[in-house]
Chain A
């Protein structure tokens, strides 16, 4: 995987308040990159620097290996957290305006606008002004203005906030589809369930500093001790075995559940063997920490 965006030692402060300090990470091409962090962590500041709205005080950002310029912004589609469009403009004109602003030729823009409006079933609204649309409708149009020029990098600041569940689901599916068609996605969110489902990579930012980053799956394994869960039809004893359960519970359906903590993934076959020997094993699984756990733990560790 090539690196699409490389952030190198980037810092930015407003007056004396540092918003982002010495953050470095790479966004691989084709990834769905989740940017996590509590409110005020510096996510939006970082995004604004990637979209060339503001420049870093120090450090630099590379786009496809070259220092980022305003031209690169044409290959990006950005949907800010605070959203809005021209109220008095029709949906159709609005889409064309933003597409042309991103460098699309008029004919191309029209073709794309037609395609996507049909795709989202909003063709009948083409001639309506924004102020006549419902909120959900406006959100769809907003999303379209972001992706109409088929950007290499789609940046979404809190894409699911403000969307109703149906539209949030639609946006999610579109994001996955666009990613499959070759767009790299960077989005910030504090909704952990989406991160787990969608993100191939993630970075956690806290108080302007990078707390953690990497591939989602790898992070879940690396960051915390490995835990496995074994279920039996009836209680069993592990005394005298190499493994001692750290937790013992009874599940609602009457199974006896034991949790083991390992220091090394290589020990897993031995654990499984031990469990098979212990009794009627009906359930054996790796317990991965949720992104939520990682997030909470990471933020806590820093305080």
Chain B
């Protein structure tokens, strides 16, 4: 135990004192904050109407004149033009584009032409088409004697509420989208952590081998203690960095947010007001449909957090023991790739499972199976957890994960003991197997 502590201490302190670590820990949140600031800037700039482009609109009927003003970045100017005049206007850039409407048929809108130097994107042309259609639709309804307010009230405000009934018969509102999002996001975080810090463990084992330190070390500690100390030490480094990022990132985002003028949801609404009206409507529509906040409050948070912590740690521990085995088996960093791919495959496969099986049926047999297999469980169980998983399942799966980890640290220790003394050629999988059982 004491030996593990000595090794853990060294792994932790040398990394935390390292300049690159300190710089990354402080620069990380700055980079995130800068990214956030850039997005905020783009949004606020888009919202300001400095660069509205002039579009001539030639409409004999006069139906569209006023009603088109809601269209995005364009300033519409009425001007009666023949087609050749319109072409000339676009050609000599006196207008960005010309909207030419002739012989307006209110039941068949087929004589509208948009002239511009560059065609509209699919999204823009779709927006234009639906705007024109909406205007004519309203015009028709008005002609049938309906008032504007009546037309507005005819379109029903649609809310689809989803209720989840638990075993005691209580109802909770839920949202599949939010659940999948949270589960997937957290699983991605686990995945990133495993790779970032698993790699660190691997390089640490490799460093001892290439610098020939290892012979002295194995004559002083058991390989199991060595591996355990290394893996736990690097885990602590990772946790330190993550905690620092969370705190610093929070501070940075808050600071920049207040500087740009976004103060939480209130600030968001303010920003939305400055956006073109149509966008605001869309966002509001989405928010109403998803019933986001309500569903967000009803998630099984204790369980999600417990699963995250358990499988975050367990997944990292298991995979970093595998990475450490690679590090002690090969001789140089360039040989690493051959082994990394098959070792990390199951984790990537976990995401495939998550996207197909779990999203279709989070509590189905396949989803359950893969949340028991220790190589995929960190991802699959995480994705499942927002949908509600029984505590018994979590306990069993986590136990399997941690036991497998212990087993693999032992295996890795064996590979380490033999592998570190083997210099020269790259080992094969068969040789690795032999090393495990070597005396």
Q: Which one of B6, B7, B14, B219 lies within 8 Å of A76 (CB-CB)?
A: B219
Interchain CB contact under 8 A, B211 and A85: yes
A130 closest partner in B (C-beta): B211
Among A48, A82, A89, A100, which residue has its beta carbon within 8 angstroms of that of B6?
Answer: A100
Shortest Cβ gap from B201 to chain A (Å):
15
Q: Chain A residues near B138: list those with CB within 8 A.
A: none
**B contact residues around A97 at 8 Å (CB):** 6, 10
B129 at the interface (CB under 8 A from A): no
| Size bin of chain B's contact surface | 20 to 34
- Interface residues in A206-244 by Cβ distance below 8 A to B read none
Residues of B within 8 A of A53 (CB): 215, 218-219, 417, 421
Is there an interface contact between B421 and A84, defined as CB atoms closer than 8 Å? no
Report yes or no: A82 in contact with B14, Cβ–Cβ below 8 A: no
What is the CB-to-nearest-CB distance from B267 to chain A, in angstroms, rounded to a whole number?
45
**Partner among A55, A76, A86 whose Cβ is within 8 Å of the Cβ of B211:** A86
Q: Are B6 and A86 within 8 A (Cβ)?
A: no
Residues of A within 8 A of B222 (CB): 70
Q: Is B247 an interface residue (CB 8 A)?
A: no
A97 to B212, CA, bound (A): 16
B80 within 8 A of A: no
Tell me, in angstroms, the Cα distance from A98 to B421 when the chains sit together: 19
A30 to nearest B CB, angstroms? 22
B211 touches A101 (CB 8 A): no
Q: Smallest CB-CB separation from A89: which chain B residue?
A: B14
- Interface mask (B221-264 → A, CB under 8 Å = 1, otherwise 0): 11000000000000000000000000000000000000000000
- Inter-chain contacts of B218 with A (CB < 8 A): 53
- Kindly list chain B residues whose C-beta atoms are within 8 Å of the C-beta of A87: 211
Say whether B439 contacts A98, CB under 8 Å.
no
Query: How far is B246's CA from A143's CA once the two chains are assembled, in angstroms?
Result: 44
CB-based contact A82/B215 at 8 Å? yes
Question: Does A189 belong to the interface (CB within 8 Å)?
Answer: no
Which residues of chain B from 191 to 237 have any CB-CB distance to chain A below 8 Å in the complex? 207, 211-213, 215-222
Q: How far is the CA of A74 from the CA of B216 in the complex (A)?
A: 11
Q: Chain B residue with minimal CB distance to A155?
A: B219
Any chain B CB within 8 A of the CB of A21?
A: no
A118 within 8 A of B: no
Indicate whether B360 reaches chain A with its CB closer than 8 angstroms. Answer: no
Interface residues on A, range: 20 to 34
Asked if B220 contacts A55 (CB within 8 A), the reply is no
In the complex, what's the smallest C-beta–C-beta distance from B220 to chain A, in angstroms?
5
Min CB–CB distance B298 → chain A (angstroms): 50
Residues on A with beta carbons closer than 8 Å to the beta carbon of B220: 73-74, 98, 101-102
Query: Using Cβ atoms and an 8 Å threshold, which residues of chain B touch A146?
Result: 216
Closest A residue to B10 by CB, please name it: A97
CB distance from B21 to the nearest CB of A (A): 11
How many residue pairs between the two chains, A and B, have CB atoms under 8 Å in the bound complex?
61
A78 near B6 with CB under 8 A, answer no
Query: Residue A80 contacts which of B3, B207, B216 (CB distance < 8 angstroms)?
Result: B216
Contacting residues, chain B, for A101 (C-beta < 8 A): 3, 6-7, 217, 220-221
Interchain CB contact under 8 A, B14 and A88: yes
Q: A100-B6, A101-B6 are in contact. Are A78 and B216 (CB under 8 A)?
A: yes
A51 proximity list for chain B (CB < 8 A): 219
- For B213, the chain A residues whose CB sits under 8 A away are 84-86
Q: Which residues of B contact A74 (CB under 8 A)?
A: 220
CA gap between A85 and B208 in the complex, in Å: 8
Q: A54 on the interface (CB 8 Å rule)?
A: yes
Q: In chain A between 248 and 293, which residues have their CB closer than 8 angstroms to a CB of chain B?
A: none
Chain B residue nearest to A145 in the complex (CB): B216
CB under 8 Å from chain A, chain B span 7-45: 7, 10, 13-14, 18
Choose among B18, B213, B217 the residue with the greatest number of A CB atoms under 10 Å from its CB. Answer: B213
Residue of A48, A70, A89 touching B421 (CB-CB under 8 A):
A48
Q: How far is the CB of B301 from chain A (nearest CB, A)?
A: 41
Question: In the complex the two chains form, what is the Cα distance from A80 to B211 in whole Å?
Answer: 12
- Inter-chain contacts of A57 with B (CB < 8 A): 439
CB contact list, A68-94 vs B, under 8 A: 70, 73-74, 76, 78-80, 82-89, 93
Residues in chain A near residue B7, CB distance under 8 A: 101
Cβ of A52 under 8 Å from chain B:
yes
Contact A54–B439 (Cβ < 8 Å):
yes
Chain A residues with CB under 8 Å of B18's CB are 88
- Answer whether A55 and B6 are a contact pair too, CB < 8 Å, given A78-B216, A84-B213: no
The residue in B212, B215, B217, B439 that gathers the most chain A C-beta atoms within 10 A of its C-beta is B215
Q: Does B212 lie within 8 Å of A98, measured CB to CB?
A: no
Instruction: Please measure, in the bound complex, the distance between the C-alpha atom of A66 and the C-alpha atom of B217, giving whole angstroms.
Output: 23
> Which of B213, B215, B217, B219 has the largest number of chain A CB atoms within 10 A?
B219
Whole-angstrom CA separation of A146 from B213 in the bound complex: 12
Asked if A82 and B439 make an inter-chain contact with CB atoms under 8 angstroms apart, the answer reads: no
Q: Do A86 and B219 touch (CB < 8 A)?
A: no
Q: Are B212 and A83 in contact (CB under 8 A)?
A: yes
Contact B212–A82 (Cβ < 8 Å): yes
Q: Which residues of A contact B417 (CB under 8 A)?
A: 53-54
How many Å from the CB of A70 to the closest CB on chain B? 6
CB distance from B422 to the nearest CB of A (A): 10
Residues B215 and A80 in contact, CB atoms below 8 Å apart:
yes
How long is the Cα–Cα vector from A93 to B14 in the complex, in angstroms? Answer: 9
A96 CB to closest chain B CB (Å) equals 9
Contact partners of A103 in chain B: CB under 8 A: 2
Chain A residue contacts of B207, Cβ below 8 A? 86
* Shortest Cβ gap from A275 to chain B (Å): 55
Q: Which residue of A lies closest to B5 (CB)?
A: A100
CB distance from A147 to the nearest CB of B (A): 12
Q: How many Å lie between the Cα of A80 and that of B10 in the bound state?
A: 22
Taken together as a complex, chains A and B put the C-alpha atoms of A103 and B221 apart, in Å, by 10
Q: A57-B439, A74-B220, A83-B212 are in contact. List 11 more A-B contacts (CB 8 A).
A: A52-B219, A55-B439, A73-B220, A84-B211, A86-B14, A86-B207, A86-B213, A89-B14, A93-B14, A97-B6, A101-B217
Q: Give 20 pairs: A residue, B residue, CB < 8 Å, sorted on A.
A: A48-B421, A52-B219, A53-B219, A70-B222, A73-B219, A76-B219, A80-B212, A84-B212, A86-B207, A86-B213, A88-B14, A93-B13, A93-B14, A97-B6, A97-B10, A101-B3, A101-B7, A101-B221, A102-B220, A145-B216
- The 3 A-B residue pairs whose C-beta atoms are closest, nearest first, are A84-B212, A84-B211, A51-B219
